[in-house]
Copies of this chain bind each other. A is one copy, B any other.
Amino acid sequence: MESQDLRQAGLKVTLPRVKVLEILENTTQRHMSAEDVYKALLESGEEIGLATVYRVLTQFEGAGLVSRLSIDGGHAVFELEDGSHHDHLLCIKCNRIEEFVDDVIEQRQRAIALEKGFEMTDHSLYIYGICRDCQ
């Protein structure tokens, strides 16, 4: 139940937060922008402001419930956090997003950070291309 997740995350259980979480959990589309979530809310008859959607998603990110991807600069999409780190492949034609995990890359990144004297805190990797269906 969503209320539990919210309470555990230290967030007060409010209608907008429950509804946004419901949308994220029930969508077939794993990656949604704030606007997408907002539209989905309107479609399910919820009167929630776009500003609130942004606020809620940002809080969810802070609480570790979702993660934010920054696609092509100036457009964020959110995905439910499932604990498993992964990177993304994006189709530049249909905007499909696929996920992948690659231990070799993960390890090399750590090695590079070390070499350069950086304490790695995060990384972002996007592979852009044309997916099977769009070729």
Contact = CB atoms under 8 A, between A and B. Distances in A.
A71 B120 CA distance: 16
B123 A123 contact: no
A74 to B, nearest CB: 4
Interface residues of A, number: 38
B121 A129 contact: yes
State the copy count for this chain: 2
Contact of A122 (B73, B124, B128): B128
A102 B125 CA distance: 14
Nearest to A128: B122
A109 B127 contact: yes
In the A-B complex, the 3 residue pairs with the smallest Cβ-Cβ separation, listed nearest first, are A70-B73, A117-B132, A118-B129
